Every structure is written in C-alpha cells, then in structure tokens.
Chains A and B, each alone.
Chain A
Amino acid sequence: MSIENLKTYDPFAEADEDTGESKQAQNYIHIRIQQRNGRKTLTTVQGLPNKFDRKKILKVIKKKFACNGTIVNDTEMGEVIQLQGDQRKDVQEFLIDKKEGLELDPKTIKVHGF
C-alpha cells in the first residue's frame, strides 16, 4: 500500500487541464447526399480522420461499391471523398466495419439527407 500524499499526481490541480485532449473527439464524419439532375445523386464523405490515406480508401470503396469517386480538396472542409450515387448506407457500414472497414465508432458518424 502506498501513501497517497507522496504521489506526484496533484489531486487539487485544475480539472480541465487534463480534459483538453479528450475533447477533440467531437470531430464528426459527415456523410451527405446531393441531388444531381434526374435521379442521380452524389455522396460526400467529409471529416475523415487524418490517419487514413484517402486515396487508398477511395480505391477500396470504388471497387467495393462499384461506383466512381474522387477526392475533392475543399478550402474549408479539407479533403472530401465524393462518390457517385447514393452510397450513404454503404459508406457508413464500411466505416464501422471491423473486419474489412475502418473500425470507426458509429457515434462519430453522422448521416445527413433525406
């Protein structure tokens, strides 16, 4: 048993100093849909974590969902993956998927649109 007082950790330190790092987790991934002409649609995936290589992801997605896509460099939103067709559900499943996906937390993903 150790003596609490002799520890280097200060129990009376300001609490919010520690929480600064964990608060950054509020970066959501937004999956949106846009209507094009006719019944064509676009799906955009915005806010993917930087640790992923978008090019590789796009390559996998294109093959998997049988759609074309591109990476758009937006000044505000950063790099956005843009896919042809309504791939919202597919993308969401892909992002969550533990086996062959990105193993992301479902809570960080927000699907927009109708």
Chain B
Amino acid sequence: MDASEEHPDTPDRKQRKSVVFDTEAVVVEGDGTVTKMASAEAAQDTAQSHAPSTPPLHDALEAITNPNEAPVEEQTPAEDGLDLTMMKKKKKKSKKTEDADGEAAADGAAEEGGLDLTPDQMKKKKKKSKKTEEDELAAKIAALEMGEEGAEEKADEPKEEQSGDMEKGTGIFGHDETKPISYDLLLNRFFSLLSQKNPDHASSGSKNYKIPPPQCMREGNKKTIFGNLPDICKRMKRSEEHVTSYLFAELGTSGSTAGAGQLVIKGRFQQKQIENVLRKYIIEYVTCKTCRSADTELNKGENRLYFINCHHCGSRRSVTAIKTGFSAQVGKRRKMRTG
C-alpha cells in the first residue's frame, strides 16, 4: 500500500474526468482543528500517512495469529480513521497524559494508541505462546477480573506487567540467568521499555504525519484554486512562498494568490495530483531524513543554501533550492510574440 503511495509519479489516467471534488469533506475551523464530514475513507488513503505504517500487515498478521481477537482489534483502525484527520497536537496530548499516569496507563496505551503500538502487541501475542507459565498466571488473573469474552483482551495487560519484571530484572531477565533470551523477547523488552520511558521516541518511527487534504476548486475552465494552502503551510511550518514556488516548479505552471491566502494555479489539477506534489514536498523539504520526524525547520543558511534543522534529533541537512526547469512554450505563438 505504501509503495504505491510513495511513488506518485503515475497518476491514474482513467479517472481524469470522473473524479468528483469532495470539497465538503473537511471543515477547517478557526483554531486550526479539522473535522471530517464525510468520505473518511477517501482521505485516509490519500492525504495522510507519509511515514510508513503497517496497519494492513498488522491486520493480516492479527488474523493469522489470533482470529478470535479480530473484533477487538477492528475497533482501533476505525478509531484511527477518525484520528487521522485530527491534529497532531491532540495525539501528543494523549501521549502526555499517558506519560503522567505512568505504568498504569501503559495498558491504556496499548488499547488507545492502537496504531503506534501494534508491532508490540503482535510480538506479545507471539511470545505468549512460548512462555506458558506466565501465561497461565495471566489467564487466571484475567479470568478473575473479567468474563470469558474479555479474557483474550485482558491477557495483553499482564504482559505489560511483565515488562515490570523486565525492569526489575526478575524471571528470565535476571542477572544470573544463563538461559539465552529469545530475540523476540529482547525486542519486546526494548520496545516496551522505550514506550514506557520515552513514549515520544517509541511512536516517532511509526507515527503518521498529518496534514489536511488540499481543497481544490475549479475557477472557470482553466484555473484551479487551492483553498487551504495557509493551513497546510502552518501545519508543515513552511513559508507559503516556498510551498508555492515548489508547486509551480513541479506542476510546470504559474499562478497567483487570491484573497484569503488562496492560491490560484493555472491549469486543471485535481486534488489527488496536488496531494502527490505535496507529498513529494514533504518528503523532500519537511521530513527529517535521519529520524523521519516532521518536526523540522527550514532555514536559509550561509551562501544561499537552505538547511533543514530537525528539532527531534538535532540533525541538519542541506536541501536543494527549488528550480524551475525548462518550460516549453504552450499556447499560441502569435500571442507570445505580441505580448
């Protein structure tokens, strides 16, 4: 799924005329929050998810490893569909509350932040089958606390408690324990500790970077209005001029800014096409190549070079300046000569 998204070089030619602009899909409020009205699915597979996340794989694996849990897990992707449109801040906030609550909230994180922790969960489930002794205990606890239906779900949580064992160094993680620890277990310990101690790091790899989908309207027959450019720029922390010049260079057109920060682009463009260009822009100029975080800043360094400073990992790299290439003469020649 991501492979096709990452290479937006080939737009679907068949759909050229049949695509409907769903401009009402997203409502942007004054304070920057974005609410979804309809067609959540369309937005899900188009606008967001630049960082490679693996929900489909996870789902597939889930189905293989534990078919009983499918209904439980299905909730989280559905929730995520909504989450995608929400602001990044919101997610962070929830992360922070978890952090404050500490260990107790770790269980909640497993359920709430479904997408981020999915690899973890999977491993836990796999591991479960290996370690039977703890599992029995866990099952007993679960049985005490919940009915039969909840047993499966609850079985996850004692695994989180087991990570406490990891910290204390008891059980298989004991200091004088000579039994080799399996890779799965070690990996699991690493991720569970990471998510406990430093939730930001744990989620940075798989967290999606979210921008609202571009709103495209047709002005007349030959122009396209890009409605929410200021909003997107604010979200990306880039100047509008930079984004605009990139858009124009990449689309091979020109345009102007209308009132209220709208961008008028010459030529007919669909939302999907502009999305592809924006995606390229984000890959090129927003995300940090080292840690893939989008928390970066574009600065003009010395001698006309632009640098991206990552606030997350502190790396700094230079990016190429935006260059418009050769543009062929389009339109009537006579007009060019006289005008």
Contacts and interface: CB of A to CB of B under 8 A. Distances in A.
B21 to A, nearest CB: 15
A74 interface: yes
Contacts of B13: 86
A39 interface: yes
Contacts, number: 67
A35 B252 contact: yes
B16 interface: yes
Contacts of A32: 252, 325-327
A114 B269 CA distance: 9
B219 interface: no
Contact of B250 (A36, A37, A92, A112): A112
Interface stretch (A2-10, A59-67, A75-83, A96-104): A75-83
Name the interface size band of chain B: 20 to 34
B252 A72 contact: no
Nearest to A111: B9
Chain B interface mostly:
loop
Contact of A34 (B222, B268, B273, B327): B327
Given A74-B326, A114-B277, A34 B9 contact: no
B303 interface: no
Given A89-B10, A113-B251, A34 B328 contact: yes
Nearest to B16: A39
Interface string B5-24: 00011110100110000000
B16 A114 contact: no
A80 B267 contact: no
Contact of B328 (A30, A39, A42, A76): A42
A34 B10 contact: no
B325 A46 contact: yes
Contacts of B251: 35, 113-114
Nearest to B323: A30
A92 B277 CA distance: 18
B326 A114 contact: no
A114 B328 contact: no
B323 to A, nearest CB: 9
Shortest 4 CB-CB contacts between residues of A and residues of B: A114-B273, A77-B326, A35-B267, A34-B252
Interface of B: 8-11, 13, 16-17, 222, 249-253, 267-269, 273-274, 276-277, 325-328, 330-331
24 contacts: A32-B325, A32-B326, A32-B327, A34-B252, A34-B330, A35-B251, A35-B267, A35-B330, A36-B330, A37-B222, A39-B268, A44-B327, A72-B328, A80-B326, A82-B328, A86-B13, A88-B10, A89-B9, A111-B9, A112-B250, A114-B8, A114-B269, A114-B273, A114-B277
Interface of A: 30, 32-37, 39, 42, 44, 46, 72, 74, 76-77, 80, 82, 86, 88-89, 92, 111-114
Given A32-B325, A32-B327, A44-B328, 19 more contacts: A30-B326, A32-B326, A33-B252, A34-B253, A35-B252, A35-B268, A35-B330, A37-B331, A42-B328, A44-B327, A74-B326, A77-B325, A88-B10, A92-B9, A113-B9, A113-B250, A113-B252, A114-B269, A114-B273
